[in-house]
Amino acid sequence: MADLPSLWTHEPHRVLAFKPGDRVSDIDTHATPGFDGSKADAPALQAERNERFAQLQEMLYANGRAGDTRSVLLVLQGMDTAGKGGIVEHVVGAGSPMGIRYTSFGVPTAEERAHHYLWRIRNALPGPGLVGVFDRSHYEDVLVVRVRNLVPPDVWGARYDEINAFERELTEAGTTIVKVAMFVSLEEQKQRLAERLERPDKYWKYNPGDVDERALWPAYQEAYQAVLDKTSTEWAPWHVVPCDRKWYSRLAVTELLIETLKSLDLSWPPADFDVEAEKKRLAAS
Amino acid sequence: MADLPSLWTHEPHRVLAFKPGDRVSDIDTHATPGFDGSKADAPALQAERNERFAQLQEMLYANGRAGDTRSVLLVLQGMDTAGKGGIVEHVVGAGSPMGIRYTSFGVPTAEERAHHYLWRIRNALPGPGLVGVFDRSHYEDVLVVRVRNLVPPDVWGARYDEINAFERELTEAGTTIVKVAMFVSLEEQKQRLAERLERPDKYWKYNPGDVDERALWPAYQEAYQAVLDKTSTEWAPWHVVPCDRKWYSRLAVTELLIETLKSLDLSWPPADFDVEAEKKRLAAS
């Protein structure tokens, strides 16, 4: 924990880890697990930790350029307004565009529907040295697809094992997967949607379909419970992040990324050339 | 110029525009054209203008989501150490990963070589609402390819017209192209390469081939001159940015992007739903 700011009393990747038996209905979306600070502490701390993330992300990128095939994949799932976009902008955005590969997964296109549901996912995986970000992901295929009955139960029912096998394959190929389930309360969601309706600069984020989804909240809670129960594996565990306080969720995901990058035990790649000889050649050029 | 900070005495997109007859050999790479401030002014101004760029970039993205098909493409060309990576990180990086599409073009892969040289370029074009960034580009096919005689002269010689036609097509399809030629002096390049050899955290950026390229400097100057002479078109003009002072080149490219986004005359997309009706539905949900 040497690198963890003192306002964290518990390591985020531990305190936020989904544990067998945890219930989605018990999540306190307003809580700030493991964090002993307040909103007033957040801006300075976030800026400092963004810097730390950026350093580690650059080091991962440098290693990728030097032949290391490892990568990191951040998977963001959550109901509308949970704050996925804010994580992308204020957390991942601290890295360099050079080393970040962002993909948003919306309603599948005709081309995507003509393929296996993992096809578009495979096409968006981060290459060596990159931090991939999935804004929604293959989990939509056991969330909205399940809740909306878009395929028969035996079809979506078979996907949990398939997803686990897929993620194991990714992990074995050198991708560390960071899965973040973002939970906001039904009431907080209402306030955030209302804000989008009050501000013309937010209209573009509003979709009338979001209100329809609210009526299906219990079914979504159940579908999220199944995701956490069935796909929180040793190689790709889920983290449950309370998101009613945006400042907390951003700090928390930042620490999850930092912890993940640190676990790769990176250092600057050594020179693959003779440094002293190059100095002479350069001086003579 | 209402939006331009007062330290700029001339609009960057005008003062940096390549003009017929301009000579690459006359570029003062240490100059700060149009800017009346100093290095000390840069950090605060850069932070403020990054913010402005981020606002406009978000607005472009919002319009893209609402059906506007327009996009922006920043093309960065320059010799090694000119600072392309710094522009990506410190200028473009101020935008959201959601709305930025970054592509680096290195030595073509076997698959890329099997296709027309514009194939990989077409595959990397920004979609609606995005700001694309090319770190090197199709211009490599008339720069290194010309200098290194990788194809016969009649082949690269035909590419200038082809590139102009290609860029015209892009422009007509709604992509505003911002072409930036970054110029560093031979001496400044030596210092920057030397720094990479002094710092183990910079070894990964060093490539012994960069020293070999230095011997070809006059040929590259000539190739850049041809690019500027032949491909600075009305629809996709070149900007010539002196880059010996990194703080200046970053400020300048930031203004070029801001000016470009402003020229699109963007506003927040109107609601495509009945706002009052939605407020009622939301309240009842």
Q: Any chain A CB within 8 A of the CB of B211? A: yes
Search chain B and give the residue with CA nearest A268. Answer: B201
CB–CB of B141/B225 below 8 Å?
A: no
Q: Any chain B CB within 8 A of the CB of A154? A: no
* pLDDT of residue A10 exceeding 90: yes
Banded model confidence at residue A104, pLDDT cuts 50, 70, 90: very high
Q: Please name the residues in contact with B18: beta carbons below 8 A apart, sequence gap of 6 or more.
A: B181, B228, B232, B237, B238, B239, B240
Residues of B in contact with A135 (CB under 8 A): 98
Mean pLDDT across the stretch A152-160?
A: 97
Q: Any chain B CB within 8 A of the CB of A200? A: yes
How big is chain B, counted in residues?
A: 285
Identify the three-state secondary structure at position A71: strand
Residues of A in contact with B257 (CB under 8 A): none
Q: State which H helix or E strand residue B15 sits in.
A: helix B12-15
Mean pLDDT across the stretch B78-83?
A: 96
AA letter at A91: V
Mean pLDDT across the stretch A101-107?
A: 95
Place of tokens 């401030």: B37
B252-267 pLDDT tens trace: 999 999 999 999 999 9
Alpha carbon distances (Å) from B79 to A114, A179, B42, B117, B202: 44, 40, 24, 20, 17
Alpha carbon distances (Å) from A266 to A106, A258, B157: 34, 12, 46
Q: What is the DSSP letter of A9?
A: S
In whole angstroms, give the CA distance from residue A48 to residue B235. Answer: 42
Weakest mean pLDDT among A107-116, A170-179, B180-189: A107-116
In whole angstroms, give the CA distance from residue B228 to residue A169. Answer: 48
Q: Are A96 and B93 in contact (CB < 8 Å)?
A: yes
Q: What percentage of chain A reaches a pLDDT higher than 70?
A: 99
Among B78, B80, B39, smallest CA distance to B189 is for B80
Mean pLDDT across the stretch A159-185?
A: 98
CA end-to-end span of chain B = 47
Residues of B in contact with A62 (CB under 8 A): 201, 204-205
Q: Residue B62 is nearest to which of A190, A204, A275, comparing CB atoms?
A: A204
* pLDDT of residue A1 exceeding 60: no
Q: Any chain A CB within 8 A of the CB of B135? A: yes
Alpha carbon distances (Å) from B179 to A255, B21, B133, B252, B257: 38, 18, 10, 13, 10
What's the pLDDT score for residue B2? 61
* pLDDT of residue B17 exceeding 90: yes
In whole angstroms, give the CA distance from residue B177 to residue B131. Answer: 10
Whole-number average pLDDT of chain A: 97
Banded model confidence at residue A2, pLDDT cuts 50, 70, 90: low
Alpha carbon distances (Å) from B50 to B14, B57, B64, B241: 20, 10, 21, 18
For chain A, what is the largest distance between any 2 Cα atoms, rounded to a whole number of angstroms? 73
Alpha carbon distances (Å) from B139 to A41, A261, B85, B136, B270: 48, 36, 17, 7, 39
* pLDDT of residue B187 exceeding 70: yes
The strand pairing partners of A73, in sequence order, are A132, A177
Q: Are A204 and B92 in contact (CB < 8 Å)?
A: no
AA letter at A166: F
Q: Residue B275 is nearest to which of A65, A197, A282, comparing CB atoms?
A: A197
- List all residues of chain B from 61 to 80 with a beta carbon under 8 Å from chain A: 62-63, 65-66
Task: Tally A–B CB contacts below 8 A.
Answer: 120
Half-sphere exposure of B238 (CA within 13 A, CB side): 25
CB–CB of A217/B285 below 8 Å?
A: no
What's the pLDDT score for residue B3? 80
| Residue B172, both tokens | 């007509």
What's the pLDDT score for residue A26? 97
**Strands A100-104 vs A131-135: parallel, antiparallel or unpaired:** parallel
Residues of B in contact with A218 (CB under 8 A): none
Banded model confidence at residue A3, pLDDT cuts 50, 70, 90: confident
Q: Any chain B CB within 8 A of the CB of A282? A: yes
Residues of A in contact with B92 (CB under 8 A): 97
Mean pLDDT across the stretch A177-183?
A: 98
A22-39 pLDDT tens trace: 999 999 999 999 999 999
B225-261 pLDDT tens trace: 999 999 999 999 999 999 999 999 999 999 999 999 9
* pLDDT of residue B1 exceeding 70: no
**E runs forming strands in B61-207:** 71-78, 100-104, 131-135, 175-183
Alpha carbon of A109: minimum distance to chain B alpha carbons (Å): 15
A72-103 as b/e, with b when 16 or more CB fall inside 10 Å? bbbbbbbbbbbbbebbbbbbbbbbbbbbbbbb
Mean pLDDT across the stretch B267-277?
A: 97
A37-96 pLDDT tens trace: 999 999 999 999 999 999 999 999 999 999 999 999 999 999 999 999 999 999 999 999
Q: Please name the residues in contact with A228: beta carbons below 8 A apart, sequence gap of 6 or more.
A: A18, A22, A24, A181, A238, A240
Mean pLDDT across the stretch B110-115?
A: 93
Mean pLDDT across the stretch A142-156?
A: 96
Q: Please name the residues in contact with B39: beta carbons below 8 A apart, sequence gap of 6 or more.
A: B245, B247
Q: Residue B97 is nearest to which of A93, A275, A283, comparing CB atoms?
A: A93
Q: What domains appear along chain B, each with residue ranges and CATH number? A: 12-283 (3.40.50.300)
Residues of B in contact with A205 (CB under 8 A): 62
The strand pairing partners of B179, in sequence order, are B75, B238
Among B175, B167, B136, B174, smallest CA distance to B234 is for B167
Whole-number average pLDDT of chain B: 97
Q: Are B281 and A208 in contact (CB < 8 Å)?
A: yes
